[in-house]
Amino acid sequence: MAEKGCILVVDNESDQLEMMQEVLGRIGFDAKTTNNPQQALKMVENHPFSLIFIDLIMSEIDGTDLCEQIKQVRPDACVYAFSGHAHLYSPERLARAGFDGAIGKPATMDEIEAALSRALNRAMDTQPIS
**Which pLDDT score, from 0 to 100, does residue 35 have?**
95
Residues 4-15, mean pLDDT to the nearest whole number: 87
Residue 77, by phi and psi: left (phi above 0), alpha (psi -120 to 50) or beta? beta
Mean pLDDT for all residues in the chain: 86
Residue 119 in this model has a pLDDT that exceeds 90: no
Regarding predicted confidence, which is higher, 130 or 40?
40
Rounded distance between C-alpha atoms, residue 7 and residue 3, angstroms: 9
Query: Quick one: CATH architecture of 6-126?
Result: 3-Layer(aba) Sandwich (3.40)
Query: Whole-angstrom distance between the N-terminal and C-terminal Cα of the chain?
Result: 14
Regarding predicted confidence, which is higher, 29 or 53?
53
Residue 129 in this model has a pLDDT that exceeds 70: no
* Residue 130: band (very low, low, confident or very high) from pLDDT cuts 50, 70, 90: very low
98, with CB counted inside 10 A (0-12, 13-18, 19+), is: middle
Residues 86-105, mean pLDDT to the nearest whole number: 91
DSSP letter, residue 87: G
**Which pLDDT score, from 0 to 100, does residue 124 have?**
62
Residue 12: name the closest of 39, 30, 46 by CA: 39
Residue 120 in this model has a pLDDT that exceeds 90: no
Give the gyration radius of the chain's Cα atoms: 13
Residue 12 in this model has a pLDDT that exceeds 80: yes
Residue 127 in this model has a pLDDT that exceeds 60: no
Contact 47, 70 (CB under 8 A): no
